Structure 1
Amino acid sequence: MNAKVWLVDDDLSVRESLGFLLKTVDYDVADFADVAALDAASDQQAPLRGCLLLDVRTPAIGGLSWLNDETRRHPLLPVIIMTDHASIEACRHAFSHSAFAFFIKPLDIEPLLQAVFQAMNESELRARRA
């Protein structure tokens, strides 16, 4: 399976603008309004490759809960956390559950693109080791 950027954010404008930006720099992007939609779309594709841009607050299952429960199922997928409700505790929790990077909205695009690039490379390294 080809690596892609998996984007989960309940805000349509974030999905559209960030998805457009990532596509302009040649990433294959799949976007979802919540983690349930991501899980449904990727159910037959585990383990996922590429990177996951994950909003902390999504409907039903929050991003941090998903990170806590699902990263074992997707060991090749570095997770970049995004939030507009930043707290030191959320950041600490994200990194304690293997988040690759943590960004506060509004997103600073250059560091985010650099993190996506690094996460995609990390996914490749993990796939080679697996």
Structure 2
Amino acid sequence: MSALIWLVDDDTPLRESIAFLLKTLGYDVVDFAELGGFEACLPDPEAEPFSGCLLLDVPLADFNGPGWLEENKRRHPLLPVIMMADHDIPEAFRQDAFAAFTKPLDVEQLLESIKQAMAESARRVESWRSG
């Protein structure tokens, strides 16, 4: 499986805009309106490691961010998570995230973080494969 950017955001126009931009830049993008759809599509990391990153919109009011990030890190340790939110992201959320952004997004900074996350993911996969 090639490296993917997994994009989860319930704001359809924003999600479609980000996906279009990333695809235009040559990235493979799979997008979802909700976290459940993303989780249902993830391959089993035990069967075949996959590289890429997750761009995750964080609905802070009803989301257990730190708990979800910790669980995701155990299940998918090769997948860096870049968080996005409409409000300031608490430090507890940021600790297990690769990067965190407050909307409106600074596109240049987001693209640089994606580039770094993809490189980090590839490094993690290579390390996993080499034992």
Asked if Structure 1 and Structure 2 have the same fold, meaning a TM-score greater than 0.5 normalized by the shorter chain, the answer is yes
Gaps of 5+ in 2: none
Assess if the C-alpha contact under 8 Å between 2:7 and 2:32 holds in 1.
yes
Change (3 A) 1:113 1:63: farther
Q: Matched residues in 2 for 1:50 and 1:59: separation?
A: 27
Task: Count how many residue pairs are aligned between Structure 1 and Structure 2.
Answer: 124
Assess if the C-alpha contact under 8 Å between 1:35 and 1:58 holds in 2.
no
Secondary structure class of the residue paired with 1:120: helix
Instruction: Kindly provide the amino acid, as one letter, of the partner of residue 118 in structure 1.
Output: Q
Change (3 A) 1:11 1:59: farther
Gaps of 5+ in 1: none
Change (3 A) 1:26 1:14: same
Instruction: Kindly provide the amino acid, as one letter, of the partner of residue 94 in structure 1.
Output: F
Secondary structure class of the residue paired with 1:54: strand
2:23 aligns with: 23
TM-score normalised by structure 1 residue count:
0.87
Instruction: Kindly provide the amino acid, as one letter, of the partner of residue 6 in structure 2.
Output: W
Q: Matched residues in 2 for 1:86 and 1:24: separation?
A: 29
Moved more, 31-40 or 44-53: 44-53
* Partner deviation per Cα, 1:78-97 (whole Å, 9 max, x = no partner): 1000001214xx2x11232x
Structure 1 runs (4+) deviating above 2 angstroms are 44-48
Change (3 A) 1:45 1:2: farther
TM-score normalised by structure 2 residue count:
0.86
Q: Matched residues in 2 for 1:111 and 1:93: separation?
A: 21
Secondary structure class of the residue paired with 2:10: coil
Instruction: Kindly provide the amino acid, as one letter, of the partner of residue 112 in structure 1.
Output: L
